[in-house]
Amino acid sequence: QKEVEQDPGPLSVPEGAIVSLNCTYSNSAFQYFMWYRQYSRKGPELLMYTYSSGNKEDGRFTAQVDKSSKYISLFIRDSQPSDSATYLCAMDAGNQFYFGTGTSLTVIP
Amino acid sequence: DTAVSQTPKYLVTQMGNDKSIKCEQNLGHDTMYWYKQDSKKFLKIMFSYNNKELIINETVPNRFSPKSPDKAHLNLHINSLELGDSAVYFCASSRDSFYEQYFGPGTRLTVT
């Protein structure tokens, strides 16, 4: 079993839709949970990170962590064509650091 | 101002050759990383250096050797290149934690 599982998609939504991206994990030692966005042929860029369980909001983006279910989510409200990218979750437990495989998102104007 | 830069951006070479990829960061970060991203977009950490000392060394062939001349630079040298080494290699840096990393633009390596 992989440390981090993420549905690769692709996911295609109309502009303005609410997008939900998810990851599950198996290692209960993970404490930090990150979401990165990667545009085509670019490096990943950090969107936001959350420590332990709970929600964190930044503009149109909300990150949610449920440690009891080993499940994290990223919600994008009022999605825009510029949100079209691959979204990677990542998790950290001290010196153990893993990325999900990424979900490809296309927002159609 | 480029935060994390890599050279070259593209590298095409033949099997058996030795090549290096250079990485520099101007963020004043203490920790630098090398990642490999395969054709399925899976991003896997290879090495991590903190203040010029190796702190993560995942299971990678010993043909891959990182070199850190100072804390702003982390180069990756690859000996005896194989077809399976073809991938995009990303350098990243962070201040004092794994969870806030800044990535370079990547080096697309093609081994023929």
What pLDDT does A11 receive? 95
Judged against a pLDDT cut of 80, whether residue B96 lies above it is answered with: no
Nearest chain A Cα to B57, which residue? A95
The better pLDDT of the pair B88, B60 is held by: B88
What value does the mean pLDDT take over residues B84-101? 90
DSSP 8-state assignment for residue B27: S
Write out residues in chain A with pLDDT < 50, as ranges.
none
Compute the 3-state secondary structure of chain B and give helix, strand, coil in percent, each to the nearest 5: 5, 55, 40
Q: Which of B64, B62, B63, B108 is nearest to B86 (CA)?
A: B108
Residue keyed to tokens 């896997």: B44
* Complete DSSP assignment for chain A: --SEEE----EEEETT--EEEEEEE--TT--EEEEEEE-TTS--EEEEEEESSEEEEETTEEEEEETTTTEEEEEESS--GGG-EEEEEEEEETTEEEE---EEEEEE-
pLDDT number for residue B10: 97
Task: Say yes or no to pLDDT of B1 above 70.
Answer: no
Strands A71-76 and A61-66, by their bridges, are: antiparallel
Dump pLDDT digits (tens) for B16-57.
999 999 999 999 999 999 999 988 888 888 988 887 788 777
Residue B4 sits at the chain A interface (C-beta within 8 Å): yes
How many beta-carbon pairs below 8 A join chains A and B? 52
DSSP single-letter state for residue B84: G
pLDDT at B5 > cutoff 80: yes
Question: Is a pLDDT exceeding 80 seen at residue B77?
Answer: yes
Over 80: is that where the pLDDT of B88 sits?
yes
Residue of B98 and A37 predicted with greater confidence: A37
- Residue B35 backbone dihedrals phi, psi, to 5 degrees: -125, 155
Of the partner residues B42, B55, B105, the one whose CB lies closest to the CB of residue A43 = B105
| Residue B39 DSSP label | T
CB contact under 8 A, B43 and A88: yes
Best to test chain B binding among A88, A92, A97 (most B CBs inside 10 Å): A97
pLDDT computed for residue A1 by the predictor: 63
